Amino acid sequence: MAARRASAKEVRELVDSLGDRLGRELSTQSVLFHQAIAERLGLKGTDHKYLDVIGRAAEAGPVTPGDLVQLTGLTSGGVTGVLDRLEAAGFVRRVKHPTDRRQLVVEPVVERYAEIGAIFAPFRERWAVLCARYSLDELRLICGFFEEATALMAEEIARMQGGVAGSRRR
């Protein structure tokens, strides 16, 4: 039996639900979840997310404070403030650049990042159980949607900051 084609109204209602109710609820819960993790680590919520930016960027090579300005859209003073707090909490250290003595590199402190991983472990287990309910094709579809939604969000951030989409280094 062939699947019934959705009406324009049904599609519009689902798109509105994704963009308004469900998207907003997921976004809010995500912010609150990361705030709770940050509090357990003795950090501000935004500082916890900057740790993620630093960690992912460092996987590709040395990360300078200037790189973080490009990646986050913060001012250099804003990045300095974040790095001061993260360094004081023992999550990053600033060291000399391996090839340019005039620059500093921000290094994640691996042991402290392991603490974050431990806090996330129960969530990752529950996430795996949730994902196991979906077929491989459905998971691919969901992953594609997340990738496109993330790119859309990055483009909107760049637009609001007066930049060009895709101008971020990583």
Domain 9-133, what architecture? Orthogonal Bundle (1.10)
Q: Please report which confidence band the pLDDT of residue 167 belongs to, taking 50, 70 and 90 as the band edges.
A: very low
Q: Please report which confidence band the pLDDT of residue 165 belongs to, taking 50, 70 and 90 as the band edges.
A: very low
How many residues are given for the chain? 170
Mean of all residue pLDDT scores within the chain: 89
How large a percentage of the chain has pLDDT more than 70?
A: 94
Q: Please report which confidence band the pLDDT of residue 168 belongs to, taking 50, 70 and 90 as the band edges.
A: very low
The pLDDT tens digits of the residues spanning 110-119 come to 889 888 989 9
How confident is the model at residue 79, as a pLDDT? 95
Residue 104 φ then ψ, to 5°? -110, 155
How confident is the model at residue 166, as a pLDDT? 44
**Model pTM?**
0.78
Per-position b or e across 129-144, b if 16+ CB within 10 A of its CB: eeeeeeeeeeeeeeee
Q: Please report which confidence band the pLDDT of residue 163 belongs to, taking 50, 70 and 90 as the band edges.
A: low
